[in-house]
Amino acid sequence: MSTHTQSARRRASAVVGALALGIAGLAGASAAFADQGNIDPNATGSIVIHKHEAGSQKADGTADGQTDTQGGAGVAGVTFTAFPISNLDLKTQADWNNLKNWNIPADACGTDFNTPKLTLPSGAAAAFDAGKVSSPTNGQGVTTIGNLPVKAYLVCETKAPSTVKKKAAPFLVTIPFPNNAANTAHADGNWLYNVNVYPKNTVVVAPTKGVEVSKNGIKTADQVTFPVTAKIPSIAATDSFKHFVVSDPLDSNLEGGKVASVKIKGQAVDPSYYVATGGQNPSVGFTKAGLAYLRTVPNETIEVVFSAKVKTVPAGGVIENVANLYIDVVPGSTPPDNPPTTPPSEPPTPTNKVVTSWGDIAINKTDADNEKTLAGAKFKVYNAADPYAASCESAVKSGDPISIGGEDTFVSAANGVVSIEGLFVDKKQGAPDAQAVTPDHSQRCYVIEEIEAPAGYTLPSGGKEFTGITVKAGKTTSAAVTVKNSKQDVPGLPLTGAAGKLIMMLAGATLVAIALGSVFVARSRRKRQTAAL
């Protein structure tokens, strides 16, 4: 077990509080307790466990003969196991004498909290019989382990829901338990066979992460935001936060990470209470003053909003993101002087996973007469009014042109291809603990507009300049659509060639006929004039 894990569990032991489990004042019990200690060796008892959030109980957890003496917010779904210590003999004075100074180490239940390992006060290794498992705690945080013979028991919190990130420290219970002033809050001087115990710990509720996309073209500052919300734990009055850090490690396809805002109860947090860092692992870490403030707002919601931009589109088009929460506590009413304000080297409490998906698009620009590629055509791209329509062919544009890396005009290259890199497809917020998160849509509709045709070609009009396109998540492997241009019309040219010669010949023949007619008319006129003389 690592030194960090051991120290963390020792801190958890402090959070659980002094359980006053009969360690003090037991030296006066008799050696032969059936005769001298007035204990029934054949009796059976029970351990009634009240699982509450740290800080919500009226006082430190104690063993007691009464139920619900401490109050507090119950934690449901927690299972405990009581391991009987077979070689700790409560019939001997020596074992009772040594109990009062026995501190149960934080790692007594093993790394899985189900493999007890303990050294007895005598120095010998503890031997354990099969453990007795409780049912999960109910909505009030209560469960019972019953039918327990007279014995000493190591109690371990063996299973907890995802909301409980730090299990309660292990503790010791004896059946029977001395109900005197040194050990219980409601002493009557008798032995308790049904013992109420109040183990508590800091309940770290898994934070929640969302995702919003404000700009649909990549390489645009602050285009993706990740709001992270977390519940501020209620901690014991005798404890302080050791650190409180929220971080958002970015995928390599993202960059420009920033902290956009920090709010508690919907109000901006005093900037002096935290340190914000940017880059590939943007984070918010609370200062000493900030940790003291967090202690005053238990169970409130903190929201940290991170922002970033998409740098590149991965092969599959999907970019994943998970944020982390780091919380720990220490004994004492004063936070550490220099708490870490960046992610510490310890396992975090992660959020749910969120994903965004992106795709590229390629357009072929060709001559309508011969299918040859055309360079120099210019396009703009727009969102579609119905982005997830069954067909994108009739898509209608919506809003302003989309910008990618500050450019909103895209030109066909020498090969006639218009390449548009990185358009938003879809996003999804995964469920808690879900490992695989898939967006609901694998493609999205966009509209392209040709705004300038290549030289010598006509620009479509009357709505034909707009084309609906389908963008699929992932890198583009081939052009999705072809847009054609027709050549320009020109003025009519002078007629030449065989057809022209024929027309000229016909025109000449006509002129000859007209001339011959004129000659005949003139001759006829002269003959009439001569006859008259």
The Cβ of residue 24 has, within 10 Å, a number of other Cβ atoms equal to: 15
Q: Which of 158, 190, 186, 150 is nearest to 38 (CA)?
A: 190
Q: What is the mean pLDDT of residues 436-453?
A: 96
Residue 235: per-residue pLDDT: 83
**Under 8 Å between Cβ of 11 and 166:** no
What the chain holds in terms of domains, given with CATH numbers, is 44-203 (2.60.40.10), 208-351 (2.60.40.740), 357-485 (2.60.40.10)
Q: 260-276 burial, b for 16+ CB within 10 Å, e for fewer?
A: eebebeeeebeeebbbb
**How remote is the C-alpha of 209 from its chain's centroid?**
4
**Sole residue written with tokens 């583009």:** 476
Mean per-residue pLDDT of the chain: 84
Residue 68: per-residue pLDDT: 53
pLDDT digits (tens, 9 = 90+) for 165-221: 667 888 999 998 887 765 665 556 678 899 999 887 677 888 999 999 999 999 999
pLDDT digits (tens, 9 = 90+) for 395-409: 999 999 999 999 999
Residue 36: per-residue pLDDT: 38
The Cβ of residue 102 has, within 10 Å, a number of other Cβ atoms equal to: 16
Q: Which of 151, 163, 149 is nearest to 51 (CA)?
A: 163
Confidence of residue 2 (pLDDT cuts 50, 70, 90): very low
Residue type, 11: R
Handedness of CA 467, 470, 475, 481 (dihedral sign): negative
Strand, coil or helix: 520? helix
Q: Which of 48, 74, 72, 75 is nearest to 58 (CA)?
A: 72
The C-alpha atoms of residue 180 and residue 65 are separated, in whole angstroms, by 10
Confidence of residue 158 (pLDDT cuts 50, 70, 90): very high
Tokens of 240: 């302080």
Strand, coil or helix: 510? helix
pLDDT digits (tens, 9 = 90+) for 505-516: 666 666 656 666
Whether omega for the bond prior to residue 176 falls within 30 degrees of 0, making it cis, is: yes
